[in-house]
Structure 1
Amino acid sequence: MPDTLTMAFFAAAIPAVMLVGLSKGGIGGAFGLLGVPIMSLAVEPVQAAAIFLPILIVMDMVALWSWRNFNDRKTLLIILPGGVIGIALGWATSAYVSDSALRLVIATVTILFTLRYFWQVYGSHSNRQIAPLPHRPVAATFWGALSGYASFVAHAGGPPFQIYVLPMRLDPKSYTGASIRFFAIVNAVKVVPYLMLGALDRQNLTMSATLLPVALLSTIAGAAVVKHLKAETFYPMTYGLALIAGLKLLWDGLPF
């Protein structure tokens, strides 16, 4: 890369990786959605997504170690098959489905989902206790597939995962552990179709490697923060970040 491109690339890539690392550490998916758009200020969006995939996998390894003692096994097992289905659909239809259309659909559902939560908690009926939802296999497959699909095409699988899991009101540590395991598996599965599409070439892998120290430090920092949050802080914060994520996806998907 020429020096000017190198400077522009790192000026965009370092903050992008820091935000994704904080998200991977458990702070919230909204930060993670900012990664590819910010890096796209310096490189093409497709190349930005390819550069991010190896970084995400390394972040996953750090996050898995940080959260190795926390998980909700039933949640992970019930939503994971849908995630794999979504990746397969993303690979099979990558040449036919508009990324913008997918962003608009996910954004609309996520915004309505988060606004409903804030109305229930802080609106006129805020004194009423909201009962946690049970597992719903059909819903888990649907939202898991949408999460896997969005993750494949845009590394944006967080909001659909949250739509299914957050209403169950798991313990924050169990929720984060299950989320990290889900996306670690999803990102690992994505490697094969990305290789088949020729996205993981030597240049992109070299760029990924130069950003790994930033990725590691920011992921560890994110995990350290979340482990000290109580449920009454964690859930409003996570829903708020999901709302920001929905608004960001809406902005990205609008035709202008």
Structure 2
Amino acid sequence: MLQLDIWFFALAAPAVVFAGISKGGFGSGASFASASILALVLEPGLALGVILPLLMMMDAATLKPYWGKWDWRVSALMIAGGLPGVALGALLFARTDADVFRVLIGVISIAFVIWQVGRARGWIRLAERALPQWVGAVTGCVAGFTSFVSHAGGPPAAVYLLSLRPGKTEYQANTVLIFTAINIFKFVPYAFLGMFTAQTFVANIALAPFAFLGAWLGVRAHHMVPERAFFLLTYVLLVMTGSKLIWDGLT
């Protein structure tokens, strides 16, 4: 049951602003931290249902600044791969309970931190040459699945995108376009699976200004703010929330 009280908005509003900043300015996929935070106090399906329309608002707000700066061929390949991944996520959601999704969201949260730290320290090395197109389709499928179950499609997509050595802005533009499409794909199964309710609709209306504020700040931060401090906060949040969700799901 979603209680739209002051405590919900005290947690949800900064989480949504944080998601907007990440989605608008940094191509790491860290915007999914907002779903992880809300899943601490909501049933995971409701947390995902609250966040998806807000992510779609952020998509709309961030498409224009990056319009035409993406690689159409690369984006189309990963979008096509994302469709079966979304279908797999919907099938899993229909057949499992909330605790499975708590654990999944928690594991993905901590795996994201390991991935980012590993890349920064050289423990994880990406391909030095551009990966073949079939890898793009496979990583698109994985991105569609992880995006469905936790809004965390960024890291799988990065495996292929970063191998192509795009510039910072082209990389961000590709992720904006890819996840705009994947979020549209997710909307229909989310609706059929009961992840949207009258209360999530009211929450979306109330939180919409925070989504647009975060996206606006993120586009500007993309050009002005170093990523180090932003991601340090992200890592702390994700380790804490991920650990708690795994504990809750297992106990």
TM-score by length of 1: 0.80
State how 1:1-256 maps to structure 2 within 5 Å.
5-29=4-28, 31-96=30-95, 98-99=100-101, 100-101=103-104, 104=107, 108=111, 111=114, 115-116=118-119, 118-119=121-122, 132-228=128-224, 251=243, 252-253=245-246, 255=250
For the 8 Å contact 2:36–2:150, the answer to whether it is kept is no
Q: What CA distance in whole angstroms lies between the structure 2 residues aligned with 1:108 and 1:38? A: 16
Taking a change above 3 Å as real, the CA distance of residues 237 and 68 of structure 1, as seen in their structure-2 partners, is farther
By how many angstroms is 1:29 displaced? 3.5
Q: What CA distance in whole angstroms lies between the structure 2 residues aligned with 1:86 and 1:7? A: 36
For the 8 Å contact 1:114–1:240, the answer to whether it is kept is no
By how many angstroms is 1:5 displaced? 4.8
Taking a change above 3 Å as real, the CA distance of residues 244 and 184 of structure 1, as seen in their structure-2 partners, is farther
Q: What CA distance in whole angstroms lies between the structure 2 residues aligned with 1:215 and 1:226? A: 16
By how many angstroms is 1:7 displaced? 0.4
Q: What CA distance in whole angstroms lies between the structure 1 residues aligned with 2:220 and 2:10? A: 26
By how many angstroms is 1:205 displaced? 0.9
Q: Tell me, which stretches of 5 or more residues in structure 2 are unaligned? A: none
Q: What SS does the corresponding residue of 1:93 show, helix, strand or coil?
A: helix
TM-score by length of 2: 0.81
For the 8 Å contact 2:66–2:173, the answer to whether it is kept is yes
Q: What CA distance in whole angstroms lies between the structure 2 residues aligned with 1:112 and 1:159? A: 8
- Percent identity for Structure 1 against Structure 2: 28
Segments of 4+ moved more than 6 angstroms: 236-246
Q: What CA distance in whole angstroms lies between the structure 1 residues aligned with 2:165 and 2:57? A: 28
Note the aligned Cα RMSD (angstroms).
3.4
Q: Which moved more, 1:41-50 or 1:176-185?
A: 41-50
Q: Which has the larger radius of gyration?
A: 1
Taking a change above 3 Å as real, the CA distance of residues 113 and 219 of structure 1, as seen in their structure-2 partners, is closer
